[in-house]
Amino acid sequence: MKKTSIARISVLMLAFLLAFSSPLSLAQDVKKRSKAKGTEKTTSLSDGQKSSHLLDRITFGARPGDVERVTKIGWEKYLNEQLHPDRIYDQVITEKLKNIESIHLSNAELANYYPPPQALREALKTKGLDLPGAAGGNQSSPSQMSDADQVAKRREVQKALKEMGYKQPQQVAIELQQSKILRAVYSEKQLQEVMTDFWFNHFNIYLQKGADRVLTTTYERDVIRPHVFAKFEDLLKATAESPAMLFYLDNWQSAAPNAQAMAMREKAMARRQSMQANGGNGGRVADRPVNPRRMDRQVSNLPNDKTPDPQRQAMQAPLNNNGKIKKPPRGLNENYAREIMELHTLGVDGGYTQKDVQEVARCLTGWTLRNPRAGAEFIFNPMIHDDGEKTVLGKKIAAGGGQKDGYAVIHLLATHPSTAKFISTKLVRKFVHDHPPQALVDRMVQTFQKSDGDIREVLRTMLTSPEFFAAENYRAKIKTPFEMTVSAARAIGAETNGGPQFHRWIAQMGEGLFMAQPPTGYADVAENWVNAGALLERMNFALALASNRIPGTRVNLNSLVSGVQTNGLNQSQLVDRYAKLLLRGELSSQSRATIDKSLGEQTVAMNNGANSTSSVDVAKVVGLILGSPEFQRQ
Amino acid sequence: MDRRFFLKSSGIALASLSAATASPTFLTRTLAQTGKNGRKKLLVAIFQRGAMDGLNAVVPYGDQAYYGLRPSIAVPRPKSGDPMTAIDLDGFFGLNPALASFKPIYDSGQLAIIHAVGSPDNTRSHFDAQDYMEAGTPGVKSTTDGWLNRYLQAKPDPKASPFRAVAMGANMPRTMQGRGAAIAMTSINDFTIRSGGGEMGQAVQGGFEAMYAQTVNDALRGTGKETFDAVKLLKQVNPNQYQPAAGVVYPRGQFGDRLRQVAQLVKSDIGLEIAFTDIGGWDTHANQGAGQGQLANRLIEFSNGIAALYADLKDRADEVVILTMTEFGRTAKENGNRGTDHGHASVMFALGGVVKGGKVYGKWPGLKTNELYEGRDLALTTDFRDVFAELAKNHLGASNINTIFPGYQANTANFKGLVRA
């Protein structure tokens, strides 16, 4: 009986498929209609569709009732609200984030409470303990221990760490990922969060690179988020001065070539004390480090911590040099200089040369960090700065500029026409279409240049444009893994703690949060994330979410269709209800009927009419809708 | 073997079958490139993302300039008994000691090294250089598909398994993007619809399959079909019978896991022809080390993984070639942070039973200032397309390599003779 029912379903579905030889999506319908009428394509979205489209693109997906709400107040008003997040009351997310400890700390506090594994191991050693299962730890012990012993050991270690006031560093990553998921799901400042995601990816850093394990938290919170609607130059400057970026792209290690630095060092020794008074941001070079628990020594003197600190070496080597200490390495590092032009501003075809890369690197020498692994503070160190004349993109930067060289470069890059074009194009790819319409890009470039790189105004130009609401761009983008998972949770009103069990799915689809290793961040067009493996993960996620198989995330599907007894509905009516709710009627009639048929037949076959629709069936219906091709689009 | 695919295809892909007919050339070609047991030839491509420092991987210890350029990170000349020195290959080049597991394969004549190889384009952008190498068109950004995918297109196979081309990883790499069907997967075991099983599971899978088959979105429809064909085939062949060959141990971590799963697919005889995976962490701008240190740690994982795969597939050595690639090399001179910045030419490794190994291929351009590319990087003497093209033609059996490398007059005279044709 089982075999035959499956076979029957297959036959039915096949018959069904054949019946629809030329499927048309709604978007195509709209397009056809507008073409036939010869009207402007821009007028063809209904008010409801416009609201729905705006919500699709500037939020992490509509919640039940959102489309109606936006339609009622008008999309212009809603957009304006979203462009001014400071005016939005956001109590729910504030409450949810309140007790997530690490996301509220400073770099120094993070470094102190969440020291790297090596430091933890050192600390544990004093109590005769070691981290459980740590790579590089005592390899013989775990395999020889029974499970119970291992659990006991782990508890002992946890207890010891707690007593010492330490937490494991991976907690910082988990909580940061968690807070990003929670904000995306619950914050009312949706466009701010979408833009935070966008700009973080644009100025990407990698959570797993050395000190960035703890610096990423403040990078997102203090560098990216406050600037998402700011002047582009301010955002660029904030990233350039951020410890996280200085560390990630190695600029903190870049120093003027040998000869000059050596000469300067002689002079600098004498000047060392007086430096406290000047040097802008670096004015506190000789201050005592901000380290409430004096972990800095432990952290930075670790045997595994091999990265030399040119700042420290430049400062200390001459003083400590009794002929034993080797000449500290120093010299230019081009990494950040290249990426600030290629990825952050001009774009790879923006018209710079290898020579420009070197010149920008020279300008940025001395932009470094104090105690990168224990509080990481941005400073300018004149002793390792190349103070000669430079030429960047044909413009002379006079000798003797010191830290100002860097600001000159930032200004030059932020106001360069290639930057306006590069940023505008990237925004259109993100918000409008994978293949940006040139006319729209051109108008955004104009806004960018007229408004002194005002991101809010550039966004406004784009989001109010006819192109944005054009029928061919309606539901024409495929959601990223992050967008897909969060939009599904929002669509069905899931309650989630945003924990690792939720994040795991995003990572499985290929885009773990803060986990893009290269400076390019994740790719911004769909062909990079639409593939067989990732598609399966989407369907599996949809099923897991709808059937409450994701720990820490709960849905109540029956309460979704409130007031309606799902028991009283037949399968077909049920599919209708959920399709309307989750896809605002954009589930194609074919998909709707397919779900209907496959589940309907199945239910009859399984239950033999004995039972009415169970909650399991509702979960499958919702799972199928969330995993459907339509739900992948926005 | 092929019969199974034929049967499967006739059930699922009726339409595509009628599109192609078996011409005599097709038959000859198929015969020409099937191995001993009628199995397909196979290429495992491994991309080292971040630009591996070829000069510290395969050390030109015979070039005096090398030591002048790298006072703190040079790998010392071979010295027997000292495990931190280069492992001599031919009196001029030596392997970084972290590549020790390659040495026995080199000695057995099944590992070839190509030095001073790379892209003729002068970009030092990771992004562009990877793009060019994966697209197979240096300097041309408008290329929409990858060269491995164009290989699939150039040799259309109506009976092809959905597992003909597999990338291990969550994202489809640029080099396998294109019209040819390919799969990206993170894990063989997870490659299925997990709906709680049973009858309802079947129905859910069927529902998804039907919806994706109908969608108007080309990308989703095409991918959906590939997905469900693959899921079904995987169920039939049950790759979980796989055990690594005796004594084979893959290194812990993602790279080792992926290579192990490549072996698993190969041994399942699932019709794999192109496998791809990548390994990051090569962007050694600071403190890269010499015989040990950051770069050495990457080289250990890299070479131990590849050596394990090679040993695991030894019983079908004649069918498999493993090829490594990286987007560019690094500056010949070390930078101010005991590291190296973005450079030009680097190194590729090719392993397999048909590889004519035990040799370092390529003309050595030298490391004197006037010999360096733009005064700073190892110059290029082999275009990577000559290596790719030779393998596509002489190993995989592609007849028209010019469609795989458009704009490039692939000249068999430039082939290195890396494989027995």
DSSP-assigned states of every residue in A108-162: HHHHHHS--HHHHHHHHHTTT---TT-TTS-SHHHHHS-HHHHHHHHHHHHHHHH
Collapsing DSSP to helix, strand or coil, A606 comes out as helix
Closest CA to A634 of A574, A582, A597, A591: A582
Closest CA to A627 of A444, A485, A477: A485
8 Å CB contact of B335 and A332: yes
A-proximal residues of B, 167-226, CB under 8 Å? 167, 169-172, 177, 182-186, 190-196, 199-200, 202-204, 206-208, 210-217, 219-221, 223-224, 226
Tokens at residue B96, please? 């970084």
Residue B41 DSSP class: P
Span A564-585, average pLDDT? 73
The Cα B49–Cα B281 span in angstroms is 7
Stated as kind and residue range, the H or E segment containing B30 is helix B24-32
* pLDDT(B158) > 70: yes
Chain A closest-CA separation from residue B265 CA (Å): 15
8 Å CB contact of A527 and B177: yes
Stated as kind and residue range, the H or E segment containing B384 is helix B384-390
Rg (CA), chain A: 28
Name which residue leads in pLDDT, B32 or A555: A555
pLDDT at B197: 62
Span A261-287, average pLDDT? 46
Query: In B195-340, which ranges are continuous DSSP H helix?
Result: 198-214, 218-237, 254-267, 294-312
Chain B closest-CA separation from residue A25 CA (Å): 6
A376: confidence class by pLDDT, cuts 50, 70, 90: very high
Quick one: closest CA in B to A338, which residue?
B125
pLDDT at A145: 59
The Cα A55–Cα A490 span in angstroms is 12
- Spatial neighbors of B81 by CB under 8 A, at least 6 apart, are none
pLDDT at A267: 58
Q: Which residues of A493-522 are buried (b: 16+ CB within 10 A; e: fewer)?
A: ebebbbbeebbebbbbbbbbbbbbbbbbbb
Please name every residue paired with B348 in a beta bridge, in sequence order, or none if there are none: B114
Amino acid at B47: F
If you average pLDDT over every residue of chain B, what do you get?
88
pLDDT in tens, A125-140: 888 888 765 433 333 3
Nearest residue, CB atoms, B204 vs list A28, A508, A620: A620
pLDDT at B110: 97
End-to-end CA gap in chain B: 24
The Cα B266–Cα B206 span in angstroms is 28
* pLDDT(A464) > 90: yes
pLDDT at A311: 44
Span A345-367, average pLDDT? 95
Span B233-248, average pLDDT? 88
8 Å CB contact of A6 and B207: no
DSSP A389-432: -EEETTEEE-TT-TTHHHHHHHHHHHTSHHHHHHHHHHHHHHHT
Closest CA to B323 of B257, B361, B362, B277: B277
Chain A closest-CA separation from residue B108 CA (Å): 33
Please name every residue paired with A378 in a beta bridge, in sequence order, or none if there are none: A369
Residue B88 DSSP class: E
B-proximal residues of A, 354-413, CB under 8 Å? 354, 357
The Cα A102–Cα A83 span in angstroms is 28
Contacts of B172 in chain A (CB under 8 A): 527-528, 530-531
Please state whether the predicted TM-score (pTM) of the whole model is above 0.80. Answer: no
pLDDT in tens, A513-528: 999 888 889 989 887 7
pLDDT at A180: 98
Percent of chain B with pLDDT over 90: 66
Residues A75, A78, A81, CA angle at the centre, nearest 5°?
150
If you average pLDDT over every residue of chain A, what do you get?
80
Amino acid at A96: K
pLDDT in tens, A586-610: 788 878 888 877 766 555 444 444 4
Mean pLDDT is lowest, of A205-214, A281-290, B375-384, for A281-290
Contact A164, A112 (CB under 8 A): no
Contact A124, A116 (CB under 8 A): no
The Cα A159–Cα A142 span in angstroms is 19
Torsional sign, CA A169, A172, A178, A181: negative
B2: confidence class by pLDDT, cuts 50, 70, 90: very low
* pLDDT(A450) > 90: yes
